[in-house]
Chains A and B, each alone.
Chain A
Amino acid sequence: MKKTYKIDVDCANCANKMENAAKKTEGVKDAVVNFMTLKMSVEFEEGADTKAVMQEVLKNCKKVESDCEIFLK
């Protein structure tokens, strides 16, 4: 399953870091952060609880880049 979230982040390098952090999160199969359109599309593992996984993703992203935001729907 794939979902796209709006994000807010200031620099392109920070966006790369968010992407890596999201990829390493458990339950995430793949993640792509698009700095230009400020969007993060996350592909989840089969049967993952997307809400819980996204909370983890947000936490991990905050760790690498304190000044970022993911708008969870």
Chain B
Amino acid sequence: MSMNRKQKKNLIRIIVSASLMVGLIFVPVSGVLRFILFLVPYIIIGYDILIKAAKGIKNLQPFDECFLMAIATVGAMTVAVINDGDYVEAIAVMLFYQIGELFQSYAVGKSRRNISELMDIRPDHANIEVDGELEQVDPDEVEPGSVIVVQPGEKIPIDGIIINGNSTLNTSALTGESLPRNVHEGDEVVSGCINMSGVLRIKTTKEFGESTVSKILELVENASSRKSKSENFISKFARVYTPVVVLCAAALAVLPPVIMMMLGNSAHWGTWIYRALTFLVISCPCALVISIPLSFFAGIGGASREGVLVKGSNCLETLSKTKTVVFDKTGTLTKGVFEVTAVHPEIVDKNTLLHLAAHVERYSAHPIAVSLKNAYLDEKDECVIKDVEETAGHGVKANVNGNIICVGNEKLMKLSGAKPVSCRHCEESGHSGSVIHISRNGEYIGHIVISDVIKPNAEKALAELKRTGIKKTVMLTGDSEKAACAAAKKLSIDEYYSELLPGDKVDKLEEILADKNSGVTAFVGDGINDAPVLSRADVGIAMGAMGSDAAIEAADIVLMDDDPLRISKAIKISRKCLRIVKENIWFSIGVKVLCLILGAAGFANMWAAVFADVGVMVIAVLNAIRALFVKNI
């Protein structure tokens, strides 16, 4: 158990005062002496409360907890002096109050540390090589373009490109993804990942302050400053609540006896004042005020552990109410890279067709060329490739082993003298991609279909969203009607709009937002040119946004990797957190109101009151911590 100095001091005060009080019960004295003796443990446990209450009155800010506790216990002491009765009650109330405070401060401190540790991805140093020896420096001092060395077990401190070494990286602190990632020379790596196996030399591409890890830390640290409606409600509630309770207590102390007297009965002043004091003890708003922000803080912390960065409690709150999810297609539901999806040769075999196409594209970096090369892995063989000629808008022509090969669209085929054959395979299967034609020495030899591939988890993600109660899913895309229709069908998306320019996407979203049936609408995009749409939606979710600053700026929620399943996960996390918040609000207010009624009616004494106060707070805090555990929802 680690406590700070203040907590230790308070613990000692509690122990000393409690033992003194128990001891004094067995000391046979009475009258003034007894009062003075009991005053000692009371002062030990309560002096700071009394001083704070006095300061509050002096600064004209009287209505706080200390004031309530001071009035209640001083009142109880006075009642005890008058009757030469039970001093234990006043001391015990103060004792329980202090125990509650101690627990609260301990629990909050502990969860604050836990959550901060979870989010601790800040690297403490960077290694640079000076005259063949490694030197540890502050990451802040490393200039972009420097070479840093990351040893196994260390965090990558700054974004960069590997210039030497192979390794596996643990990215779980950033993405929540537990599978390690293999990296090689030439790969881009982001800061915050843990290097697991080999030594890496990395050429930094950014300053530390601009690196992924700094961006994330900044975002998470500022997250709980953007307050949710629930939190604002609670602070407003607390502001009016205390004065109202004090007035009620005063009324409770004065009105019933006065009415009794007017009716000609005896007033029972003592009973009613005692009830009023009990009323004051029950009324502390602490459980509420502490547990709501704590729930959000834990929820945001748990989410960031799962690779879901939430910009503020308010975003978490809105996300939990989402009814409609609008997707961008490319990069969000699809991989955004082209892949060969069909090969239709005419007079050669499939392998030859791919082989020739890949060779022609050997020197091109066009996305289509990359996809063709990826489809034929043994491209770097002995074949001789000469006279490569790339014509924009047409394709590529080259001499492969003495044959003139053209790879491109119909225009290029016409130029080369070949006549594309209309393809019955394509019509039957309804392929919806770009068709690349290939000719050899002016003779048509077949075509290859490449299309953007749907992400492996996209279908599951859409089904999962429906299961979590999302009413409508919509897809917006700049792609052709045919491609959009095929994707929407495959993924069972309710509505889609195709052939949209980036500006049209905002207009479409406006339309959806204006539709009253939509409810709270979230937009999910990869953030590359979605920034305006992201910021216009009720909740903007940017996917796989590591490195895209514009998206991180514009979005409310940032998903660290590009797995669409994380969308439903984020919604579930937000729902769990909000459920806990609501539980805490209703539970705390409910128990308080119940106890207030019981106290006013005389069924709860001061002991019960303190238990109600401390107990509710403990349960609410423990409940709030639950928001942190979101791994398996």
Query: How many chain A residues touch the partner (CB < 8 A)?
Result: 21
Contacts of A11 in B (CB 8 A): 65, 101, 104-105, 286, 289-290
Of B219-227, B255-263, B474-482, B528-536, the stretch lying at the interface with chain A is B219-227
- The residues in A between 1 and 37 inclusive whose CB is less than 8 angstroms from any CB of B are 10-14, 16-17, 19-20, 32, 34-37
State A39–B220 Cα separation when bound (angstroms): 13
In the complex, chain B residues whose CB is within 8 Å of the CB of A50: none
Query: Does B411 have its Cβ within 8 Å of any Cβ on chain A?
Result: no
CB <8 Å contact, A36 and B224 = yes
Please determine whether B59 and A36 come into contact, CB atoms closer than 8 angstroms.
no
Instruction: Give Cα distance in the complex from A66 to B55, angstroms.
Output: 7
Chain A residues contacting B294 (CB-CB under 8 Å) are 12, 36
CA distance A67 to B224 in the complex (A): 23
Contact of B238 with A32 in the complex, beta carbons under 8 Å:
no
Determine the residue in chain B with the shortest Cβ distance to A21: B61
- Complexed CA–CA distance, A17 and B62 (Å): 12
Q: How far is the CB of A61 from chain B (nearest CB, A)?
A: 11
Let me know if A35 and B293 touch, CB within 8 A. yes
Asked if B446 is at the interface of the complex by the 8 Å CB criterion, the answer is no
Q: Do A36 and B293 touch (CB < 8 A)? A: yes
A41 contacts which chain B residues (CB < 8 A)?
Answer: 222, 225
Residue interface mask B23-63, A partner, CB < 8 A = 1: 00000000000000000000000000000100110010100
Please tell me which one of the listed residues B56, B105, B289, B297 contacts residue A16 in the complex, with CB atoms under 8 A apart.
B289
User: Are A12's CB and B61's CB within 8 A?
Assistant: no
Contact B224 A37 (CB under 8 A): yes
A13 touches B286 (CB 8 A): yes
What does the 1/0 interface line of B59-83 toward A look like (CB < 8 Å)?
A: 1010011000000000000000000
The B-contacting residues of A in range 25-62, CB under 8 angstroms, are 32, 34-39, 41
Neighbouring B residues of A32 by C-beta, 8 Å: 225, 227
Instruction: Indicate whether B285 reaches chain A with its CB closer than 8 angstroms.
Output: yes
Is the Cβ of B225 less than 8 Å from the Cβ of A34?
Answer: yes
* B61 CB contact (under 8 Å) in A35, A64, A67: A64
In the complex, whether B350 has a CB less than 8 A from a CB of chain A is: no
- B 610-629 binary contact with A (CB < 8 Å = 1; else 0): 00000000000000000000
Residues of chain A within 8 A of B297, CB atoms compared? 36-37
Nearest CB in chain B to that of A16: its residue: B235
B394 part of interface (Cβ distance < 8 Å): no
Contacts of B224 in A (CB 8 A): 34, 36-37
Report B-chain residues with C-beta under 8 Å of the C-beta of A10.
101, 105
Q: Hey, which chain A residues are within 8 Å of B101, CB to CB?
A: 10-11
Expressed in whole angstroms, the minimum distance between the Cβ of B112 and any Cβ of chain A is: 6
**A12 adjacent to B52 (CB under 8 Å):** no
- Residues 249-275 (chain B) with a chain A CB within 8 angstroms: none
Q: A66 — which chain B residues lie within 8 A by C-beta?
A: 52, 55-56, 59
User: How many Å from the CB of A22 to the closest CB on chain B?
Assistant: 13
Chain B residue at minimal CB-CB distance from A63 = B59
* Closest A residue by C-beta to B236: A16
Chain B residues whose C-beta falls within 8 Å of the C-beta of A37 in the assembled complex: 112, 221, 224, 297
Q: Is the CB of B238 within 8 A of A36?
A: no
> Complex: how many Å from CA A41 to CA B105?
22
- Residues of chain A with a CB closer than 8 A to B222's CB: 41
A38 to B297, CA, bound (A): 12
In the complex, residue of chain B having the shortest beta-carbon distance to the beta carbon of A40? B225
Q: Nearest B residue to A33 by beta-carbon distance? A: B225
Contact A12 to B289, CB < 8 A, known contacts A64-B59, A66-B52:
yes
Bound-state CA distance A25–B351 (Å) is 76
Q: With the chains together, A20 CA to B239 CA distance in Å?
A: 10
Q: Decide: A13 near B65, CB < 8 A? Known: A34-B224, A34-B225, A41-B225.
A: yes
B101-126 CB contact bits vs A (8 Å, 1 = yes)? 10011000000100100000000000
Q: Roughly how many angstroms separate A20 CA and B61 CA in the complex, as a whole number?
A: 12
Instruction: List B contacts of A39 (CB < 8 A).
Output: 221, 225
Contact A12 B293 (CB under 8 A): yes
A-B contact pairs, 5 of them (CB 8 A): A10-B101, A11-B105, A13-B286, A32-B225, A63-B61
Binding site for B on A (CB under 8 A): 10-14, 16-17, 19-20, 32, 34-39, 41, 63-64, 66-67
Instruction: Using CB atoms and an 8 Å cutoff, list the residues of chain B in contact with chain A.
Output: 52, 55-56, 59, 61, 64-65, 101, 104-105, 112, 115, 221-222, 224-225, 227, 235, 238-239, 285-286, 289-290, 293-294, 297
Given contacts A11-B286, A16-B238, A35-B293, 6 further A-B contacts (CB under 8 A): A11-B104, A12-B293, A17-B64, A19-B235, A34-B224, A38-B112
- The 4 A-B pairs with the shortest beta carbon distances in the complex, nearest first, are A36-B297, A13-B289, A12-B289, A12-B290
